Amino acid sequence: MEISVIGSGYVGLVAGACFADSGNNVICVDKDPKKIEALLRGEIPIYEPGLKEIVERNRKNGRLRFTTSLEEGVRNSTVIFIAVGTPQDEDGSADLSHVLAVAKGIGQSMDGEKIVVDKSTVPVGTAALVRSTIEAETTHPVHVVSNPEFLKEGAAIDDFMKPDRVVVGVPSEKAADVMRSLYEPFLRNNNPLLVMDVPSAEMTKYAANAMLATRISFMNEMASLCERVGANIDDVRIGIGTDTRIGMSFLFPGVGYGGSCFPKDVQALVRTGQQHGVNLQVATAVELVNAGQKRSLVKKMVEFYGSAEELKGKCFGVWGLAFKPKTDDVREAPALVICEQLLNFGATLQVSDPEAMHTFREKFGEREGIRYIENNLEAAQGVDALVIVTEWNDFRRPEFADLKAVMKSPVIFDGRNLYKLKTMAEHGFTYFSVGRPSVTSE
């Protein structure tokens, strides 16, 4: 099948590479010439395990091409995926300007009947806007499909190649047949392709992300209560997660969710509700809890040292800057909030992350009081305490004797519950985690 993917960011590049790997001819289009030039040199603009190898393989065999020409992509394709960004607008809604600009360009470039697929995360009603925008520019027939993505950063290739389900909202049986054919190679384990109306598909994406975000915020609230009543959230999590009606997924407490999806999508869902006269109280509360949770670790630090003023002049090591492991994405990352708070209190920071150093530095800047250090142990050198923000495997099994030896004080504030309480006690650390009893060194 001849496919074009408009937008070569995270979703577009993964989709284009995986479609090419299944035997399709794919043209990836992006208006940024520097990004296209880099891709043509074999450079991948994002960190995603396995993506570089797939892009390289399919470029060599001629199934994957890159261009800045929207017209070239449209005219050489039967199916056109829109995978451009939908950043958060000032009122919390999704900004559709990029999507609609692409739709207008598609309409102006069409030379025949096309199937246009919304792959970007967009609110209910976007497909209708895309269709009307295209139809204002052309007399050729167009079928606008909603095909939301459910990729986890750090596991996107596996998620695309072996999806637990594929959701498509279609306006016609012809569009449904094409989407079935396109996804057939990825559904050989009989996982379902769910064909539905377009608004339902658009709604499914937001509802799914809001549900996952709800589980995270709920567990963070339970963790806060556990700390007050002397319970252990690890035991509580197992106690409720083994209920088959609940399950274990997304029940880990921490310092809040971040990334490009959950924060933006929950807020966009709330805004959609407001626009239609529905007050989404649960979704609103989920976002409020998450915002507070990003500040919870520094709150523990203030309580431990006695006041915010006592943090002034102290040096803290920070392990983990990405919003989650196996990615260099720092969008809405809890580390941004935590580092900002600590610097505002007059502390100095030594920060480290296996992949997100460059993206964090671009976002956060070269600020006074912050040092970027590649080596984890060096980032802990001489610190008053270590702050753990991202659950990278690199941080899970340190040599605790070596770690304690380089720290000024053996104090750890763990926002991801990486270590067992018994282990911390045995190694003589003062240890604070999320929803569990604290450990005090002797």
CB 363 within 8 A of CB 354: no
Give the span between the Cα atoms of 95 and 103, in whole angstroms: 14
CB 385 within 8 A of CB 301: yes
CB 263 within 8 A of CB 273: no
Among 18, 28, 226, 261, the one annotated catalytic: 261
Give the pLDDT score at 85. Answer: 87
The CB density around residue 221, as the number of other CB atoms within 10 Å, is 17
Q: What is the pLDDT along the chain (442 residues), one digit of tens a residue?
A: 999 999 998 899 999 999 999 999 999 999 999 999 999 998 998 889 999 999 999 999 999 999 999 999 999 999 999 999 888 777 777 889 999 999 999 999 999 999 999 998 888 999 999 999 999 999 999 999 999 999 888 899 999 999 999 999 999 999 999 999 999 999 988 899 999 999 999 999 999 999 999 999 999 999 999 999 999 999 999 999 999 999 999 999 999 999 988 999 999 999 999 999 999 999 999 999 999 999 999 999 999 999 999 999 999 999 999 999 999 999 999 999 999 999 999 999 999 999 999 999 999 988 999 999 999 999 999 999 999 999 999 999 999 999 999 999 999 999 999 999 999 999 999 999 999 999 997 6
Give the pLDDT score at 442. Answer: 61
What pairing do the DSSP bridges indicate for beta strands 166-169 and 64-67? Answer: unpaired
Torsion of CA 225, 226, 229, 232, to 10 degrees: 180
Torsion of CA 353, 355, 359, 364, to 10 degrees: 0
Annotated catalytic residue 226: no
Handedness of CA 345, 348, 354, 356 (dihedral sign): positive
Paired with 352 in beta bridges are: 319
pTM of this structure: 0.91
- 3-class secondary structure, 134: helix
Give the pLDDT score at 88. Answer: 76
In the chain, the domains with their CATH numbers are: 2-164 (3.40.50.720), 205-292 (1.10.1040.10), 294-432 (3.40.50.720)
